[in-house]
Structure 1
Amino acid sequence: MTVTKTSVLVLDCAEPEALAEFYASLLDAEIQVVSDPDFVELVGHNGVHLAIRRDHGYAPPSWPRPDDAQQAHLRILVAHGDLDEAEREAVSLGAMPMDAKANGGLRGVRFYADPAGHSFSLAVPPRNEPAGRGEEAP
């Protein structure tokens, strides 16, 4: 028997409430009330789970990363034709566009930093995969 599991990506930051508001608006997700003031959870309508944890010594990650460095980032899939609108929305919520040269100029993928400095991308899925389905690893 396999035990049912849910994966949750946890982002560290100095102000979890503010970052949770950013992602709740961007992902159309709901903030879940938890008893720990240093931990906030978000649940999206498509089964997306994200958590934000307070790190009192938090320092934003740097970008671009050295060639041999790896760092996780969120890949948010948007429908074909909606990438420009999704970008406007993300930037209006506080996202900061990253240098397009640093991401290899991938078509249909745009990189940003969230208000706490974490990288994320808005991406158009391959034509045979609708936005909102499972994501590939970045």
Structure 2
Amino acid sequence: MIGRLETVVLDCPDPRAAAEFYAAVLGLEIVREDDDWIDLGPPGGGPDDRRLSFQLAPDLVPPTWPDPTVPQQLHLDIAVDDISAAQDAVLGLGARLISDDHDGFRVYADPAGHPFCLTYG
């Protein structure tokens, strides 16, 4: 092993909005915040916990997947037990459904346009 995963970073025009969206989806909390950066981690977590981070990118061009004009660049797979309840929850938080014609997963965009999948089954 050369290193360990510290965080996955998503560029976004509004780090606070993106962090609040994923905090609600994943049950995480804000563990660090600067003017242009926010880290999420598990509640009561320690310094070695993996994080999900959001970096200010005011000129971000959101992915247009599946249209290849602007590739998806990165996406998260989020495992759920009840796809219908999870879909209702993420849509209520501002996500939009991109595609639901796959076995075992559905594709969404978060409020900033980043694709993510809810996986089930």
Alignment of 1:31 with 2:30, yes or no, is yes
Task: Give, in whole Å, the separation in 1 of the partners of 2:32 and 2:120.
Answer: 32
TM-score between the two structures when normalised by the length of structure 2: 0.83
Contact 1:109–1:122 (8 Å) recurs in 2: yes
The structure that is strand-richer by fraction is 2
C-alpha deviation, 1:15, in angstroms: 0.5
Task: Give, in whole Å, the separation in 1 of the partners of 2:3 and 2:74.
Answer: 24
Task: Give, in whole Å, the separation in 1 of the partners of 2:10 and 2:2.
Answer: 25
Flag structure 2 segments of 5+ consecutive residues without an equivalent. none
Amino acid at match of 2:114: H
Flag structure 1 segments of 5+ consecutive residues without an equivalent. 126-138
User: Whose Rg is larger?
Assistant: 1
Please give the residue correspondences for 1:121-136 in structure 2 after superposition, counting only pairs within 5 Å.
Answer: 121-124=117-120
- The equivalent position to 2:109 in structure 1, one of 91, 109, 113, is 113
Change (3 A) 1:85 1:20: same
Cα RMSD after superposing both structures? 2.3
Amino acid at match of 1:26: V
Tell me the alpha carbon deviations over residues 31-76 of structure 1, each in whole angstroms, 9 at most, x when there is no partner: 1123x2100001136955210000121121112133xx56321000
